[in-house]
Structure 1
Amino acid sequence: MWSTRHLGQRVRVLVYHKRHYRAPPPLLEDLTQRGFIQDVTRPDAFENALATKVQTIYAGVDPTAKSLHIGHLIPLMCLLHFQIRGHRIIPLIGGATGRVGDPSGRLVERQLADVKQVEDNVVNLTSSIQAFFKRAYLYAGSHVSLDSNVKPEPVVRSNLDWHGSFTLLDFLQAVGVHARVNTMLNRESVRARLTSQQGLSFTEFTYQLLQAYDFYYLHKHFGCSIQVGGSDQWGNIVAGLELIGKMDPSHPNQGPSNASGVYGFTTPLLTTSTGEKFGKSAGNAVWLDSSLTSIFDFYQYFLKVTDTDVGKYLRMFTFMSIKEINELVQEHMKEPEKRRAQLRLAAEVTEMVHLKQGVKQAETMTKLMFGSDYLDLKASDVISSFKGDPRLVICSTKDITGIPVTKLAATYGLVSSNSVSRTLVASRGLYLNNQAIQDAQYKITPSNLLDNKFVILRAGKDKMLILLASN
């Protein structure tokens, strides 16, 4: 077992940044510097394997939801770092194991998943993962010199493909015969549950064998040599290495410490400076799917991270160099109120997930929501940014200029009634193009139209309405 140790200078790739190329550290060292490495088996042999031969690595995704959320970014970024350096990657969805439930890191048993829901989630997650890597690969190309032979969209697999036809008797004969119960009982995830009030079901107890067989199957059929998972997956990863050592003829009777050619490593559990699990906000996940979490809200999540967390997130979720990140954080701390580091983090991660167009959209919406100068806003950018958003309303120029602002605000849902509008005007809380309305009977004039096409009404700090003239 190993954590954060100096590694020799071996693998080199050219990375383009600010008009010059730089050679980053070897892959394992780079992942360590970025905070991805907690434990790894046989680090010296692992480093040598990465330097001398193309490897295949896999990471598992539980089909507990229909889309990826930002908590998935950690294993996905690990795979992406391997992919851009020419290694092969296998994102694996637990179409079979998702029906069982992993006891790792849990004090109570998961409720058994609905089979139809798991199947639907596998289909949706497959599309989500492919879309992520396609976009993230483009993003990485803005920082790293990419191999033109690497396919940006990996083949996503489901372990139901092999577990689905594996009968219980076959599984016991092929896998169960190699499992020692005393070893399985000593896994941390098992020990923790055995001492809990609820205990551990046989279904969950066998989970480690199912995942171990995943590693063996991928190793045998696809040449997979590496598994990465969260820190709570260490026992399952070791179980896979042990099973390969026992079932693969090329590793006869070998355990995880000396099985040749196969490796595993874990990433730390990422929490915020307040102790919350990364990706959770008041119990709500931040999704990578813009139909579940808007691009604006996705951008805002990273824009609002604390000064304590921003450096850590820049290292893990961007391809900026460590040197540039350190310089940016140092500059940021001189004037933290300007949030330079958070602005860069939000832009980088949003570009990776939603492309440059998504960054432009999020920045335009942020400017509209929180900016003070609207004069240079273009109608085309506003329309693109708020497409499908209920805050963008198309109406006639006659209505925009012929009805008092207070009535417009009530008619189009910015406030609940005309009386609320008038109360806001009295307290200087109703704004037209960021200027407080002082007359409840004021009507918009053509000179108020931004880019000659739209106006922005705001109630208080956060509620906004954009009225776009249709003619």
Structure 2
Amino acid sequence: MPSPTLWRSTSLHPLSPYVCTNRASISALRYLSRSAVARKSNSETLWDQQAERIRAGHRKSLLTILEERGYVKDLAGDRNALDKLLTDKCIGAYSGIDPTAPSLHLGHLLPMMVLFWMYIHGHKAVSVIGGATARIGDPTGRLISRQEMDRDTIASNFISLQSCVRAMWQNAERYAERHGYPKEKTWSRSVKNNTVWLRKLKIIDFLTDAGTVARMGAMLGRDTVKNKMAQGDGMSYAEFTYPLLQAYDWWHLYQSGVQVQIGGSDQYGNIVAGMDLIKHLTPRPSTSPETKQLSGPFGLTVPLLTTAAGAKFGKSAGNAIWLDKTMTTPFELYGFLVGSADADVERYLKLFTFLPLDQISSVMAEHQADPSQRKAQHLLAREVVDLVHGPEEAENTQKRHGFSRRPNLQTLQAEAENSKEGLNRLYLPHSLVHSKAPARILYHAGLAKSNSHGLRMVNSGGAYIGIQSEEKEPTSDGELKFRPLRGVTTSMVSEMIAKSNILVLRTGKWNVKLIEVIRDDEYEQKGLSAPGWEEFKEGRDAPSS
């Protein structure tokens, strides 16, 4: 008698029909292959039709669009050849960012905008994060070497920056669709880490490939090298080879069809170094036939992001506007852009939005008719916050900003209750506010870095206190009137607290804080803290001598 186990396995399970899995797999692969060929053929047909419309003058070429919007500072390579290449073929383009900080900033957005425009016109877009090159630090335009970062910091920055770049691409796709550029299946984008290929690069191969094409005279003659040697802290060998590593990045990407590099105007020398390396290595017998057929590398640099007055801004300048909302809030980003000078706003609208040029011209005409309304600046701020953080964030930020211009206490409290980020409202214990000078309260509220900083803000007229209007006009609705803290006495602040336990402080134009003053024991029960609170408790609880 067969065993129970054998009986169950052979008799209770019905037999499955036999299928030749290899044959099924081959059929599926053939179907997918035919589908891919059909999609590619259809894409090429549409591309040829578009190119024909451009050549016939019925549509602007991509390079013309970039030039009209002010993206092109310099071109490395023949302008007409690049124009023809972008019109006739789907190619690849890239820009690189080293993870020297955990976030992109507004200056990074400029070369990325060129990538966005190329992407929505069908070209392959690649963002390269320099996980390897960050360990050296780009010396371009610097007199003092970058502070060396440890590997943990670089790794942490890389993870944060990679997340920021990917989120930026997702937002850019949605933003483009809202402006009439729906995503096509043939569009291609990627985010790469140059550590992947540079860590495999052997020093002998690097010197053989890149070192032989780099001429000492040309490298020593670069402005960055000369200025850093003569006026700065000298140049290390690692910094000296940075352009060659960036060149090798491009050579690696070029072999997969990335023919254009995009960078800031200070990157022109590094881009040319990459072009020289590509031209040197392409004729080698080991280079693939597909790479040899490419029509040559091209470089495009964007203008340095400055105000009309010539002021730079960015991480190196110490006034970076970050694209990570934990470092620069959407409200702060909106406020910065609303503060753009009239001489800058049209240029920024062309650079940082997908708005058509005729719409920008129309808005500028309305703005010039009444500049005090700052209509162009508000459009710029709304569009950029939409691009960076999405339409919901843009709408909420615009409403919040509009409210902050004419707040009243009731709506300010309601908005603070509904704020997800809790940025507008804070609690302070009675002892840190009662009988304290306004400058000291600014410090405890986190609006000043120290008591002396708060005093400077008060004396310079940069800090204000909100006083509810007692006017009976129908339109006033208890509107808060802000008066400078300079001249406001300690007793006046104490009287305000006695009436409602509420203070409204403002620094700058838009940074409004609602402060609710509560009992010390209640503050401690909530587990809250504020600048100076721990020091106060130590003094309060210290045994008397």
TM interval, shorter chain, is 0.7 to 0.9
User: Contact 2:425/2:513 (CA < 8 Å) preserved in 1?
Assistant: no
CA spacing shift, 1:11–1:392, aligned 2, 3 Å? farther
Instruction: Report how far residue 428 of structure 1 moved.
Output: 9.2
Instruction: Report how far residue 123 of structure 1 moved.
Output: 1.5
Describe the superposition over 1:183-203 as per-residue Cα deviations: whole angstroms up to 9, x where unpaired.
322333333334335332222
- Return the index of the structure with the highest Cα Rg: 2
CA spacing shift, 1:189–1:122, aligned 2, 3 Å? same
2-side partners of 1:167 and 1:246: how far apart?
A: 19
The match for 1:216 is: 251
2:209 is aligned, of 174, 185, 190, to 174
SS of the residue corresponding to residue 141 of structure 1 reads helix
User: Contact 1:100/1:113 (CA < 8 Å) preserved in 2?
Assistant: no
Within a 5 Å distance, the mapping from 1:11-90 to structure 2 comes to 25-40=60-75, 41-90=77-126
The match for 2:181 is: 145
User: Contact 1:241/1:262 (CA < 8 Å) preserved in 2?
Assistant: yes
The match for 1:122 is: 158
CA spacing shift, 1:180–1:336, aligned 2, 3 Å? same
1:417 is aligned, of 421, 434, 439, to 434
User: Contact 2:504/2:512 (CA < 8 Å) preserved in 1?
Assistant: yes
Describe the superposition over 1:410-452 as per-residue Cα deviations: whole angstroms up to 9, x where unpaired.
7589x8227779xx9xx995338525799869867xxxxxxxx
SS of the residue corresponding to residue 249 of structure 2 reads helix
1:229 is aligned, of 263, 266, 269, to 263
- How large is the Cα RMSD of the aligned pairs? 3.6
Describe the superposition over 1:234-260 as per-residue Cα deviations: whole angstroms up to 9, x where unpaired.
11111111111111238999xxxx983
2-side partners of 1:138 and 1:91: how far apart?
A: 18
TM-score (normalised: structure 1): 0.78
Describe the superposition over 1:17-70 as per-residue Cα deviations: whole angstroms up to 9, x where unpaired.
xxxxxx863211111111110111211111111111111001010211011111
2-side partners of 1:43 and 1:234: how far apart?
A: 15
Within a 5 Å distance, the mapping from 1:240-389 to structure 2 comes to 240-249=274-283, 260-279=295-314, 283-372=318-407, 379=414, 383-384=417-418, 386-389=419-422
User: Contact 1:303/1:345 (CA < 8 Å) preserved in 2?
Assistant: yes
2-side partners of 1:347 and 1:328: how far apart?
A: 14
CA spacing shift, 1:428–1:314, aligned 2, 3 Å? closer
Describe the superposition over 1:257-302 as per-residue Cα deviations: whole angstroms up to 9, x where unpaired.
x983321111111211232213469823211111111111111110
User: Contact 1:188/1:235 (CA < 8 Å) preserved in 2?
Assistant: no
SS of the residue corresponding to residue 390 of structure 2 reads helix
User: Contact 1:246/1:252 (CA < 8 Å) preserved in 2?
Assistant: no
User: Contact 1:12/1:25 (CA < 8 Å) preserved in 2?
Assistant: no
The match for 1:406 is: none
CA spacing shift, 1:241–1:392, aligned 2, 3 Å? same
Q: Which amino acid is the alignment partner of residue 504 of structure 2? A: R
The match for 1:188 is: 223
The match for 1:434 is: 479
Instruction: Report how far residue 458 of structure 1 moved.
Output: 2.7
Is 2:136 the partner of 1:100?
yes
1-side partners of 2:152 and 2:197: how far apart?
A: 18
The match for 1:465 is: 514
User: Contact 1:279/1:286 (CA < 8 Å) preserved in 2?
Assistant: yes
Is 2:462 the partner of 1:391?
no
Identical aligned pairs, as a percentage?
A: 36
1-side partners of 2:261 and 2:67: how far apart?
A: 16
The match for 1:5 is: none
User: Contact 1:216/1:240 (CA < 8 Å) preserved in 2?
Assistant: yes
User: Contact 2:120/2:187 (CA < 8 Å) preserved in 1?
Assistant: no
Instruction: Report how far residue 111 of structure 1 moved.
Output: 2.7
Q: Which moved more, 1:428-437 or 1:360-369?
A: 428-437
1-side partners of 2:246 and 2:82: how far apart?
A: 21
Describe the superposition over 1:209-242 as per-residue Cα deviations: whole angstroms up to 9, x where unpaired.
111111101111x221110111111111111111
The alignment of Structure 1 onto Structure 2 pairs a total of residues equal to 413
2-side partners of 1:456 and 1:347: how far apart?
A: 31
Instruction: Report how far residue 82 of structure 1 moved.
Output: 0.6
Q: Which amino acid is the alignment partner of residue 243 of structure 1? A: L
Q: Which amino acid is the alignment partner of residue 387 of structure 1? A: K
CA spacing shift, 1:357–1:382, aligned 2, 3 Å? farther
Describe the superposition over 1:130-186 as per-residue Cα deviations: whole angstroms up to 9, x where unpaired.
00010121112121332431568x321111111112222221123212322223223
CA spacing shift, 1:141–1:30, aligned 2, 3 Å? same
Question: Which one has the bigger helix percentage?
Answer: 2
CA spacing shift, 1:434–1:232, aligned 2, 3 Å? same
User: Contact 2:135/2:154 (CA < 8 Å) preserved in 1?
Assistant: yes
TM-score (normalised: structure 2): 0.68
CA spacing shift, 1:416–1:466, aligned 2, 3 Å? closer
Q: Which moved more, 1:196-205 or 1:160-169?
A: 196-205
Name structure 2 gaps, 5 residues minimum. Answer: 1-49, 288-292, 442-463, 470-477, 483-491, 517-545
SS of the residue corresponding to residue 189 of structure 1 reads helix
Q: Which amino acid is the alignment partner of residue 118 of structure 2? A: F
2-side partners of 1:211 and 1:156: how far apart?
A: 16
SS of the residue corresponding to residue 101 of structure 2 reads coil
